[in-house]
Amino acid sequence: MSPILRGNRDLIRSINRSILLNGIKTQGEVSRAALAHLTGLSPATVTGITGKLIQEGLVFEKAMGDSTGGRPPIMLALNPRGGFVIGIKLMEGHAIGALTDLNATILAKDTIALADKKVETSVEMLSVLVNRLVQSSGIRKKQLLGVGIGLAGVVDFAHGIVRQNPFFGWRNIVLGDLLGTRLQVPVFIDNDVNTLSLSERWLNQGQPEDNFILITVGRGIGMGIVINGQVYRGKAGGAGEFGHIVVDRNGPLCDCGRHGCLESLVSDRALVAQARQAVGPEIADLDDVINHANDGNAEAKSVLTHAGALLGTQLANLVNLFDPKLIIISGEGTRMGELFFSAVRTAFHDCVMTGLAEDTEIRIKSWGDDIWALGAASLVIAEIFKSPIQKEETTEKSKM
């Protein structure tokens, strides 16, 4: 038999497996007959593939469904304990990790300190963190399907390479291979805001949007872009550096070495620096800025409203470029509250092109440390459900 035919047959089988696994995930509970009707696959194909999914532990049979006459159908459902994943947010000085099931339910959480910025130290500490999470959750190591790592900077997802990280000073570090070799499990890495975008796409219990932009405001300003249901990463993982759009060439120095980036004017550190000049040296952190503004301090209020107007103007520019259905704003900075976001919305509506604002929702999403780890976990969960065609497209793009 021709190897090419065998390859095509294996590819078709993999595609059908992905279609059925996603169908079960989407439906929640579904019979084999309903799956055949929904997917257009033959009953024999559905029975054969779902049988293997049951053997793998990813799917299980539930109580019989309602009968329309004759024998009641046996329902299939995703087995959330059919495997487990770990998501880690790697930050300056420490890493936050969470072990979840396939429904992204957190079963164990942990944090580990990093003594320095060396790659070797990070790999060692991340390995320790993974092993601690496995032990504390009580699962077996062989049940761990993979580890996802989210971190700031330019990340080549297809090759698992950190092209540039502003906090560690890393350049072209093959973090995926280094940690994967150490742990002997698949490791996926991506820009941390991309991981949050993936979590919105894959872990959303409702009907996910196919076209949206996710903005994070906090230590930095980040952006994830989802187009037609796929995260857009650019040619080398650099898409979404929203914080480094230059809005004032005579503005303050940014961490990237340029002047007047949006991040240098709207990030936590930028707002604290502005408030110290306007209010006084008693301003120690962003919470002080917020508290002074809430107490009626005019200078502190001006700092927040000016920053909100800057962000709103740039959000309008994004809508003019991409015309998304939804913009999600998340991150530590969401605690700045209505004073800040009222200025965001006003500037947005003042600057967006006529006709584009009406169908675009700006949604403020509550933030917590867990959201970053869940985002990184979604890297692995997304790979489990991703079509082999999508995986092939990612690989081919990485070769270009």
**How do residues 149-165 score in pLDDT, each as one tens digit?**
999 999 999 999 999 99
259: exposed, middle or buried (C-beta count within 10 Å: 0-12, 13-18, 19+)?
A: middle
Which residues on neighbouring strands pair with residue 154, listed in sequence order? 164
| 336-347 pLDDT, tens digit each | 999 999 999 999
324-337 pLDDT, tens digit each: 999 999 999 999 99
pLDDT of residue 180: 96
Query: Taking Cα atoms as reference points, which of 80, 84, 79, 115 lies closest to residue 97?
Result: 84
The band of 26, judged by pLDDT with boundaries at 50, 70 and 90, is confident
Supply the pLDDT for residue 389.
Answer: 65
Q: Report the pLDDT value the prediction gives residue 315, as an integer from 0 to 100.
A: 97
pLDDT at 6: 46
Say which range, 227-236, 250-259, 386-395, has the weakest mean pLDDT.
386-395
Of all residues in the chain, what percent carry a pLDDT higher than 90? 71
Q: Could you report the per-residue pLDDT of 114-152, keeping only the tens digit for each?
A: 999 999 999 999 999 999 999 999 999 999 999 999 999
- Check if the beta carbon of residue 377 is closer than 8 Å to that of residue 100: yes
**113 pLDDT more than 90:** yes
Residue 320: both structure tokens together:
């003019």
- Quick one: CA dihedral 290, 296, 302, 307, positive or negative? positive
Q: Is the predicted pLDDT of residue 88 greater than 70, yes or no?
A: yes
Q: How far apart are CA 173 and CA 176, in angstroms?
A: 9
CA 347, 350, 351, 353 dihedral sign is positive
Lowest mean pLDDT among 32-36, 86-90, 179-183, 396-400: 396-400
**How confident is the model over 192-243, as pLDDT tens digits?**
999 999 888 777 654 568 889 999 999 899 999 999 888 999 988 889 999 9
* pLDDT at residue 181 in the model: 96
Residue 56 pLDDT exceeds 70: yes
168-171-176 Cα angle (round to 5)? 85
More confident residue, 211 or 310: 310
Mean pLDDT over each residue of the chain, to the nearest integer: 89
Is the Cα torsion angle 188, 15, 398, 181 positive or negative in sign? positive
CB 77, CB 32: distance < 8 Å:
no
Is pLDDT above 70 for 375? yes
pLDDT at 11 over 50: yes
d(CA 105, CA 92) in angstroms, rounded, equals 26
pLDDT attached to residue 398? 46
Residue 109 scores a pLDDT above 60: yes
Residue 362's contacts (CB-CB under 8 Å, 6 or more residues apart) are: 315, 327, 329, 344, 345, 348
Q: What percent of the chain lies above the pLDDT cut of 70?
A: 92
Helices (H), the chain: 3-27, 32-39, 43-56, 119-137, 175-183, 192-202, 263-266, 268-278, 286-294, 298-322, 337-351, 369-385, 388-399
Mean local confidence (pLDDT), 370-375:
87
pLDDT at 291: 97
**Confidence band for 65, pLDDT divided at 50, 70 and 90:** low
Model confidence at 5, in pLDDT bands (50, 70, 90)?
A: very low
pTM: 0.85
Q: Is the pLDDT of residue 2 over 70?
A: no
* Torsion over CA: 57, 62, 67, 72 (sign): positive
Write down all domains in the chain, each with its CATH number in brackets: 3-78 (1.10.10.10), 84-185 (3.30.420.40), 202-367 (3.30.420.40)
Assign 260 a pLDDT band (cuts: 50, 70, 90).
very high
What's the sign of the alpha-carbon dihedral 316, 317, 323, 328? negative
Distance CA 166, CA 170 (A): 7
Lowest mean pLDDT across 57-71, 97-111, 222-236? 57-71
